[in-house]
Amino acid sequence: MKIKVLLADDQAILADGIKSVLSTSPEIEVVGIAHDGFEAVELTKKLLPDVVLMDIRMPNMNGVIATSEIKRDLPDVKVLVLTTFDDSDYILGAINNGASGYLLKDTSSAALIDAVKNAYAGDTILPAKIARRIADAARMVSSDREIKLKRAFGFSDREVEIALMLCEGFTNKQIASALKLTDGTSRNYISAIYVKTGCENRISAVDKMREALKN
């Protein structure tokens, strides 16, 4: 059974190029192309793709809003957002609205195909430099959230930083890459977070931390 992909990009030449690349994989079928965010939402409802490859800057409705609309009505559909490196203002918004990750528009054909497959499998797709950009953006806007987590769980500054990234869906490797930590050090911090939240696994710890952030 093939992975059904909907493309959303207002640049027809780029959309056609992406379709050609994805069509080289026998496991992927491009079922449609939308030319703005509104059309992406409507075609997703009609075609029910497995993955939507979403441009971030489009007329009528941008990719962040379109992602939110799609995930609200069809939460099982995976949305991968296409971006250039200067789209940092949109990154956290899209992730918070349910995007499965970001892809750079200069990604290789093989990496694009792998990203679609991995998103379909449930992975979060974040290139290292995008992960670093998210970490930087999170540090700039998260002072109130940091205070809440410190009060609730007694986290250190580094633990708060990693806790927020866990809440955003980062993997251990992405956290290590963004914060320039070894994989072992990253795991140690995450284990400490589990202990301080009184949880035994990532899902329950993230749920508990997100609940604390609401208060």
Domain boundaries in the chain? 3-125, 133-214
Q: pLDDT at position 70, please?
A: 95
- Across the strands, what pairs with 7? 33, 53
Residue 91 pLDDT > 80, yes or no? no
Confidence of residue 85 (pLDDT cuts 50, 70, 90): low
Confidence of residue 139 (pLDDT cuts 50, 70, 90): low
Confidence of residue 143 (pLDDT cuts 50, 70, 90): low
Q: pLDDT at position 47, please?
A: 97
Q: 133-214 adopts what CATH topology?
A: Arc Repressor Mutant, subunit A (1.10.10)
DSSP 134-175: HHHHHHHH-HHHHHHHHHHH---HHHHHHHHHHHTT--HHHH
Where helices occur in the chain by DSSP H, the ranges are: 12-22, 37-47, 63-73, 88-96, 109-120, 128-141, 143-153, 157-167, 172-179, 183-197, 202-214
Q: pLDDT at position 157, please?
A: 87
Mean of all residue pLDDT scores within the chain? 88
Q: What is the mean pLDDT of the segment spanning 22-30? A: 96
Which of 3-17, 33-47, 82-96 is the least confident region?
82-96
Domain 3-125, classified CATH 1.10.3720.10, yes or no: no
